[in-house]
């Protein structure tokens, strides 16, 4: 286990060294040359000093004491250079040499009364001081460097390696042609923790999870060699090495997942959280660093989008085909700019087939005139922050059209629009909506805003404040896709809505078993008890309609009585009564 930890540490350390190491890379040969010069000059010094004879050098007569002084200074310079370039080895060699030399000089002075060697003693003492000074200063510098290096690769909040360290490691593993898996981890619903309990609590959650994960990685208990890093916010990356089969990778990921099931309790509440894990294996799925990271990211987003109980998914080539983000972003922008966003209206009826109103559904015309379905462009618009614009265009256009119909035919119908909660909570949105309602003269009490339950629950407290403002304006509220999100009936109590929309996925299975039917019946009863009316979405078959009638549903919206219609068909429908 310790060996694993050590190996893991060494890989990162090696990488960092490659990056940051400014350590002297003076060649070893230099050390021996300096040592040799030192020995020769020292021997010559001592010979000159003991003979006392003047030396003939380049045509000049040099007195013995001057010649000895020059040679001994040269020897001391060698010693100092050793300390400068060869750190610990240089220091030890220097001290040993001076330590051997000094007693010899002193004994020469004492025994032969040779005071011409006295400057040599001072020279040696100065050399010792210089060598020690240089060594300790250099050590201090390299300690600073170590701290700087580790800060550059450490996430300050959690103490885990950061994004930079992680990409460096992956880069290194690719270079070494090692087989490894990159797992992108994203905590589910982390935003709601921050919203509900504040950043402080959110941070403590991150710290606690990080510490659990770090313990697992360091202990080597998974059997694979793991490296965990925090990328940003609530995103982490796990690099898994030394495995023989994919099963081992999954087994390792499960261990990290199960650590989250242990209670998080140091934030004043006891609660459980989960995360989504997407992974890609190098070189099986991707050959280079950028692809393996982006593929694991794609797999993570895919499993998050699925919203199932399984939280682990491997990248597949299929996902590349599904990643239309870039392609659609351009299309959406150009549709917004060129009036390519429009709407269709799907009718809603009560159980006696009387028209209740219409839901406005966004459509987008591509440059070639073909129509793109919202199932494709809405998720992308949400991702790139353009859904707000679409929502408002659909609201303005459909309110203008339906407002006219209401006036012309004196209709008591509702227009439902879809609004993303992000939009609702955006500064100025409610004001803009109020202004538009006043200007267009659309009756506020005939407007209904559909909000998706899963999104709303994520930031419940904040959202309810905004919903209250809408209700004060007279606008009605519907909870869309009920049952698909956080499915928390208990939350319904705190949401000031009028209508509950049961998601199509429930209606699809309504007659598959008695249990399914009873479950939907229970939702309807509960909705009624809480004061909501209930509409079922996606009703296609007669027997579904019959069952819904039997269990007391108030309204239906589905292909059985009406698909989303263009404006002409809507006008025909209302004019024919
Ligand atoms: P949604 O809000 O749940 O809308 C209902 C979807 O179910 C619509 O799909 C509708 O055409 C479809 N549907 C209704 N009845 C039936 C049925 O009997 N059978 C089947 N198979 N489908 C039925 P659409 O128009 O493709 O919209 C898909 C989703 O896109 C919407 O789901 C909504 O989440 C989103 N969306 C659509 N328009 C907007 C918009 O203006 N703003 C926002 N933010 N989202 C929108
Ligand atoms: Ca809707
Ligand atoms: Ca819906």
The domain limits of the chain are 29-152, 163-322, 325-575
Judge contact between 204 and 254, C-beta under 8 A.
Answer: no
| Tokens describing residue 48 | 């000159």
Which residue's entry shows tokens 């994203």? 186
State the helix-helix crossing angle for 460-472 and 429-440, rounded to 10 degrees.
Answer: 20
Any idea what DSSP says for residue 322? Answer: H
pLDDT in tens, the chain (577 residues): 455 455 555 555 555 555 444 444 577 888 999 999 988 988 887 787 777 777 777 777 878 777 877 888 888 888 889 888 888 888 899 889 888 888 877 887 788 776 766 777 888 888 889 888 988 888 887 777 777 666 677 888 888 988 888 988 998 999 999 999 999 999 998 888 777 777 888 888 899 999 999 999 999 999 999 999 999 889 999 999 999 999 999 999 999 999 987 766 655 555 678 999 999 999 999 998 888 998 999 999 999 988 778 899 999 988 887 666 777 888 999 999 999 999 999 999 999 999 999 999 999 998 888 888 898 888 788 877 788 899 999 999 999 999 999 999 999 999 999 987 667 777 788 888 999 999 999 999 999 999 876 555 556 677 788 889 999 999 999 998 886 654 455 566 677 889 999 988 789 889 988 888 988 898 898 889 888 999 999 999 999 999 999 999 999 999 999 999 999 999 999 998 7
CA 277 to centroid of ligand 1, rounded, Å: 29
Q: Which atom of ligand 1 is nearest to the CA of 559?
A: 18
Question: Comparing C-alpha atoms, which of 224, 97, 229 is closest to residue 162?
Answer: 229
- Per-residue model confidence as pLDDT tens digits over 283-319: 999 998 888 998 999 999 999 988 778 899 999 988 8
CA 359 to centroid of ligand 2, rounded, Å: 7
Give the other-Cβ count within 10 Å of 327's Cβ: 11
Please tell me the residue having the least CA distance from ligand 1 atom 24: 374
| Tokens describing residue 74 | 């040269």
Strands 499-502 and 275-282: unpaired
Which residue's entry shows tokens 């618009």? 381
Q: Which of 348, 361, 453 best tests ligand 1's pocket when mutated (most atoms within 8 Å of CB)? A: 361
CA 560 to centroid of ligand 3, rounded, Å: 16
Whether domain 325-575 has CATH 3.40.50.1000: no
Q: Which residues line ligand 1 (CB under 6 A)?
A: 346, 361-362, 373-375, 378, 387, 390-391, 394, 418, 420, 480-481, 537-540, 557-559, 564
Q: How far apart are CA 201 and CA 329, in angstroms?
A: 35
Q: Do domains 163-322 and 325-575 have the same CATH topology?
A: no
Phi/psi region, residue 187 (left: phi>0; alpha: psi -120 to 50; beta: rest), is beta
Secondary structure string (H, E, C) spanning 509-559: CCCCCHHHHHHHHHHHHHHHHCCCEEEEECCCCHHHHHHHHHCCCCEEECC
Question: Comparing C-alpha atoms, which of 124, 62, 59 is closest to residue 94?
Answer: 124
Cβ neighbours for 8, distance < 8 A, ≥ 6 positions apart: 217, 225, 226, 227
CA 487 to centroid of ligand 3, rounded, Å: 14
CA 523 to centroid of ligand 1, rounded, Å: 21
CATH no. of 163-322? 3.30.70.270
State the helix-helix crossing angle for 163-175 and 289-306, rounded to 10 degrees.
Answer: 120
């Amino acid at each position: 286990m310790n060996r694993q930890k050590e190996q893991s540490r060494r890989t990162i350390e090696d990488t960092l060294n490659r990056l940051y190491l400014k350590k002297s890379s003076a060649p070893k040969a230099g050390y021996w040359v300096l040592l040799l010069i030192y020995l020769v000059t020292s021997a010559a010094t001592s010979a000159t000093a003991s003979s006392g004879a003047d030396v003939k050098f380049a045509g000049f007569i040099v007195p013995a004491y001057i010649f000895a002084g020059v040679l001994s200074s040269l020897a001391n310079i060698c010693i100092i250079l050793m300390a400068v370039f060869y750190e610990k080895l240089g220091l030890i060699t220097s001290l040993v040499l001076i330590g051997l030399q000094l007693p010899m000089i002193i004994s020469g002075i004492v025994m032969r009364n040779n005071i011409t060697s006295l400057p040599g003693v001072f020279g040696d003492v100065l050399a010792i001081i210089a060598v020690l000074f240089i060594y300790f200063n250099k050590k201090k510098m390299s300690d600073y460097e170590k701290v700087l290096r580790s800060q550059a690769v450490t996430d300050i909040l959690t103490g885990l390696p950061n994004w930079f360290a992680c990409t460096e490691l992956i880069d290194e593993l690719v270079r070494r042609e090692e087989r490894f898996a990159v797992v992108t981890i994203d905590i589910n619903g982390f935003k709601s923790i921050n919203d509900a309990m504040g950043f402080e609590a959110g941070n403590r959650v991150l710290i606690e999870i990080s510490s659990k994960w770090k313990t697992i990685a360091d202990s080597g208990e998974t059997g694979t060699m793991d490296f965990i890093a925090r990328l940003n916010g609530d995103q982490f990356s796990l690099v898994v090495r030394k495995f023989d089969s994919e099963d081992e990778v999954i087994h390792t990921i499960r261990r990290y997942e199960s650590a989250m099931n242990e209670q998080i309790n140091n934030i004043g509440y006891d609660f459980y959280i989960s995360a989504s894990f997407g992974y890609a294996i190098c070189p099986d799925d991707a050959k280079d660093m950028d692809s393996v990271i982006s593929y694991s990211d794609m797999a993570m987003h895919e499993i998050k989008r699925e919203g199932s109980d399984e939280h682990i998914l491997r990248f597949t080539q299929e996902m590349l085909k599904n990643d239309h983000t870039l392609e659609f972003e351009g299309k959406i922008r150009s549709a917004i700019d060129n009036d390519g966003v429009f709407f269709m209206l799907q009718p809603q009826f009560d159980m006696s087939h009387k028209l209740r109103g219409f839901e406005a559904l966004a459509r987008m015309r591509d440059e070639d005139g073909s129509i793109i379905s919202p199932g494709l462009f809405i998720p992308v618009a949400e991702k790139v922050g353009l859904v707000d614009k679409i929502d408002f265009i659909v609201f303005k256009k459909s309110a203008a059209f339906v407002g006219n119909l209401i006036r012309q035919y004196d209709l008591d119908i509702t227009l439902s629009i879809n609004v993303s909660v992000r939009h609702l909570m955006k500064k100025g949105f409610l004001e803009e909506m109020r202004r538009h309602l006043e200007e267009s003269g659309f009756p506020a009490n005939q407007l209904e805003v559909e909000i998706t339950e899963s999104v709303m629950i994520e930031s419940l407290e904040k959202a309810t404040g905004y919903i209250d403002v809408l209700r004060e304006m007279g606008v009605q509220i519907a909870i869309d896709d009920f049952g698909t999100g956080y499915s928390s009936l208990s939350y319904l109590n705190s949401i000031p809505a009028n209508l509950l929309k049961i998601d199509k996925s429930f209606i699809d299975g309504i007659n598959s078993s008695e249990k399914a039917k009873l479950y939907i019946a229970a939702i309807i009863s509960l909705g009624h008890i809480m004061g909501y009316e209930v509409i079922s979405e996606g009703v296609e078959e007669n027997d579904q309609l019959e069952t819904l009638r039997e269990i007391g549903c108030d309204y239906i919206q589905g292909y059985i009585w009406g698909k989303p219609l263009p404006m002409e068909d809507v006008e025909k429908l209302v004019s024919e009564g």
